Amino acid sequence: MRDGLLKCSRYAFAPNYYRYCGPDNRKRLEGYLSEKIVDTGLREYLVDFEGLYPYLKTIATENNLSDPFDERVVEAYWVGNNLLHQVRQKEMAETLLYGQQLKKRLQTKVWRWITDKIPKGAFFHHSFHVFSIFTRTGHLTIDHTIDSMNECRIGWGRIINNSNLKFQSLKIQLKTQQLIYRKGKLVIESNVIREVIPSVDVGLAKSLKPGDWVSYHWGFICEKLTLKQVAWLSHYTRHNLRLANETL
């Protein structure tokens, strides 16, 4: 439980910090991460992320796991793993209908655009929410919307420079990728250099070194990744992006 809650907190921190989602008490989550405190209060805080918890709960239930914050479940949603393949189409639709209450919030045709992706092989990965649900709130040709999607998706990259790295004092350069709009489609462009902020998890921040693969969310590093995790994150992100491009 402890590892899963901390992992989930690292991914949820940045949008909460910017007040995009979750409870309006960003210093609380920052405190949990910086001190690596895990208690019922942290669990309750993460449950209140209304756009996150229904996905975790469904992934856990479909894999006969009792805890939505099991580390394997958290990894499945944010990074990707084989647990995603066990989530049945019916359960996906019901989660979007009742857990996310999307049908009440969206026009009928938009609701159909989203649910039609389920039988085409959509996965309950964070990228599905970003590309097929988050996008329904605006026009994709507007630059700030594409920029927002690029920040909201979980990015991955390799550290190329972290000289004199100090906690929260310097940014780290990554060779990564970015989301762009080209010829009517969203495309992931590779070999992009960008700066990101070290994690508020002090232990993680201090352990980073050139050559490490990391994930990031809204410009904050979330965790180190293995090559297998990099492959998973790339695969599920690109797969859900292809489905999203069908209804741009």
Contact 38, 46 (CB under 8 A): no
pTM: 0.92
Distance CA 199, CA 33 (A): 9
Residue 69 burial by CB count (10 A; 0-12/13-18/19+): exposed, middle or buried? buried
| Residue 58: per-residue pLDDT | 98
Between 215 and 140, whose confidence is greater?
Answer: 215
Distance CA 215, CA 234 (A): 11
Most confident of 111-115, 204-208, 209-213: 209-213
The count of structural domains within the chain is 1
How do residues 7-58 score in pLDDT, each as one tens digit?
Answer: 999 999 999 999 999 998 989 999 999 999 999 999 999 999 989 999 999 9
pLDDT at 193 over 80: yes
Which of 242, 7, 225, 233 lies closest to 126, judged by CA? 233
| Residue 79: per-residue pLDDT | 99
Q: Domain containing 156: what range? A: 2-247
pLDDT at 161 over 80: no
| Residue 137: per-residue pLDDT | 45
How do residues 88-129 score in pLDDT, each as one tens digit?
Answer: 999 999 999 888 888 777 888 888 889 999 999 999 999 999
pLDDT at 166 over 60: no
- Which parts of the chain are beta strand (E)? 155-161, 172-182, 185-196, 213-217, 220-225
Which of 71, 241, 66, 46 lies closest to 152, judged by CA? 241
- Which of the four pLDDT bands, split at 50, 70 and 90, describes residue 210? very high
- Which of the four pLDDT bands, split at 50, 70 and 90, describes residue 199? confident
Average pLDDT, the chain: 90
pLDDT at 165 over 60: no
Contact 51, 44 (CB under 8 A): no
How do residues 122-148 score in pLDDT, each as one tens digit?
Answer: 999 999 999 988 755 443 444 558 899
